């Protein structure tokens, strides 16, 4: 946690909240309107309404993130054409750090960048990586801090079960 807190001022601009101000978004709460900069034009979370969203936060310095990327790539391939969007938000201060990470750990899913750390603070992020499963109504239904190889089965089950509902 100390490592995360030391990086907090270095986090950057990716997703901004317009309806929650300084309140943290937690399990069971709605995410409101998210804007996803880093794309042109920036899509809004309302563009994803009706879809499940797997929102993951990562950084180039995060060792477990190197393990989570292959999992998210596998899920992106397995769930292609399903009602879900995987978005991984980088929180490095410099996009070049993220680019170096991505050259070694390519992504098949949507990427965004948040150098200011607005969204991690709003989401009450406590560890890296952390993933949020958001239902089609925009509510956080599952939060998973960290990533270990043994987490793959649980996360895959959560995603597949969510898509059955």
* Mean pLDDT score, 138-143: 92
Is 23:99 a contact under the CB 8 Å cutoff? Answer: no
Q: In 3D, which of 55, 71, 61, 54 has the Cα closest to residue 149?
A: 71
User: Hey, where are the domains in the chain?
Assistant: 2-164
Predicted confidence (pLDDT) at residue 18 exceeds the cutoff of 60: no
* Mean pLDDT score, 33-48: 62
Q: For position 22, what pLDDT does the model report?
A: 41
The pLDDT-based confidence of 72 (bands split at 50, 70, 90) is very high
- Can you identify the CATH homologous superfamily of domain 2-164? Glutaredoxin (3.40.30.10)
Cβ-based neighbour number of residue 139 at 10 Å: 14
Residue-level length of the chain: 165
């Amino acid at each position: 946690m100390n490592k995360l807190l030391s990086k907090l001022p270095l986090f950057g601009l990716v997703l901004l909240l317009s309806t929650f101000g300084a309140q943290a978004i937690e399990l069971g709460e709605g995410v409101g309107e998210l804007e996803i900069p880093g794309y042109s034009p920036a899509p809004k979370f309302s563009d994803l309404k009706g879809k499940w969203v797997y929102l993951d936060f990562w950084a180039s310095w995060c060792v477990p993130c190197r393990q989570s990327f292959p999992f998210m790539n596998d899920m992106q391939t397995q769930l292609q054409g399903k009602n879900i969007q995987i978005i991984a938000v980088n929180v490095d201060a410099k996009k070049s750090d993220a680019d170096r990470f991505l050259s070694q750990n390519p992504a098949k899913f949507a990427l965004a960048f948040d150098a200011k750390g607005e969204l991690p603070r709003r989401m009450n992020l406590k560890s890296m990586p952390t993933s949020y499963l958001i239902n089609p109504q925009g509510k956080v239904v599952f939060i998973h801090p960290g990533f270990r190889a043994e987490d793959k089965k649980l996360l895959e089950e959560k995603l597949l079960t969510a898509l059955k509902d």
